[in-house]
Amino acid sequence: MLDFLASVGRVFIGFLGASGRFAIFTLTALSHCFRPPIYFRLIGRQMIDIGYYSLPVVGLTATFTGMVLALQTNTGFSRFGAASATATVVVLSVTRELGPVIAALMVAGRIGAAIAAEIGTMRVTDQIDALSTLSTNPMKYLVVPRIVAGLVTLPLLVLVADIIGVFGGYIVATYKLGFNPASYLHNTADNLAATDIFSGLIKAGVFGFIVALMGCYHGYHSRGGAQGVGAATTYAVVSASVMILLFDYLLTSVLF
């Protein structure tokens, strides 16, 4: 019995320790975002990596998401004679929910893993220590540019994903399901409010921060060579994905 309690205690203390380390890392990273020097060139490079190079994968998933959504909505709503609501359902689902979440999950897989692997490799090959000995703060040089770039770039990506996703729904609705193109677009525009788009962009900003933060945190604390870097990459993607879904619920309950 005592052994069992000791095991539970060890796990709990370990959890508290990990939570504390994560909180300190997050606060330290945030505080460095507002203190010079700010490496604008590195932020620009990260924005290209996170945003520009993620466009194909995010665009592709947004297209198919919009297309599937139009098909499923039409199938389901036709049973209640409400097929005309397809355009509204597609645009609201994409802008409020699926655009930010799908784009964030794609970026978590592509960028979160890359950040963790790059910083993790730098950790296990002493490159982060080398930065310190060259009078350069690794948090400022490695972590801040990625977090700022994630925060700024994901909303831009989601804006593009929203447009492409709605367009995907439009293509299926008009060419496959026989909707009138003009009335479909009319319904889409009529039922879309600015708050629908902005709430999605707010979510995207939070998700971008989470993806970059998780990649940086797990990479920064990786240990033990190639195996440690591999584990850091897995943790970064899994934890970012879970937190994206958790914060999606929290933000939805606050914003709507």
Partner 1 sequence: MSETLSPAEPKISVRGLKKSFGSKIVLDGIDLDVGVGESLVVIGGSGTGKSVTVKCILGLLDPDGGSIKIDGQEVTTLSRGHRETLLQKFGMLFQGAALFDSLRVWENVAFGLIQGRGMDRQQARDIALQKLGAVGLGPEVGELRPAELSGGMQKRVGLARAIAAEPEIIVFDEPTTGLDPIMGDVINDLIVKCVRDLGATAISITHDMASARKIADRIAMIYKGRIIWSGKASEIDHSGNPYVDQFIHGRADGPIQMEVRAL
Residue closer to partner 1, measured from CB, 132 or 195: 132
Most distant CA atoms of the chain, gap in Å:
72
CB of 226 to partner 1, least distance (A): 14
Hunting for tokens 């297209």 — which residue is that?
63
CB of 49 to partner 1, least distance (A): 11
Q: How many CB atoms lie within 10 A of CB 35?
A: 10
Whole-angstrom distance, CA of residue 50 vs CA of residue 57: 11
Whole-angstrom distance, CA of residue 32 vs CA of residue 30: 5
CB of 94 to partner 1, least distance (A): 36
Whole-angstrom distance, CA of residue 108 vs CA of residue 95: 19
CB of 147 to partner 1, least distance (A): 18
CB of 137 to partner 1, least distance (A): 7
Residue closer to partner 1, measured from CB, 124 or 172: 124
Asked whether the beta carbons of 85 and 188 are under 8 A apart, the reply is no
Residue closer to partner 1, measured from CB, 125 or 180: 125
Secondary structure letter of residue 52 according to DSSP:
G
Residue closer to partner 1, measured from CB, 137 or 174: 137
Tokens of 93: 């689902």
Residue closer to partner 1, measured from CB, 22 or 141: 141
Tokens of 116: 């963790």
Whole-angstrom distance, CA of residue 177 vs CA of residue 180: 9
Nearest Cα neighbor of 45 from 34, 37, 53 is 53
CB of 60 to partner 1, least distance (A): 28
Give the orientation angle of helix 144-171 with respect to helix 40-50, to 10 degrees: 30
CB of 129 to partner 1, least distance (A): 5
Tokens of 144: 């801040």
Residue closer to partner 1, measured from CB, 122 or 164: 122
Interface with partner 1 (CB under 8 A) = 121-122, 125-127, 129-130, 132-137, 141
Residue closer to partner 1, measured from CB, 36 or 56: 36
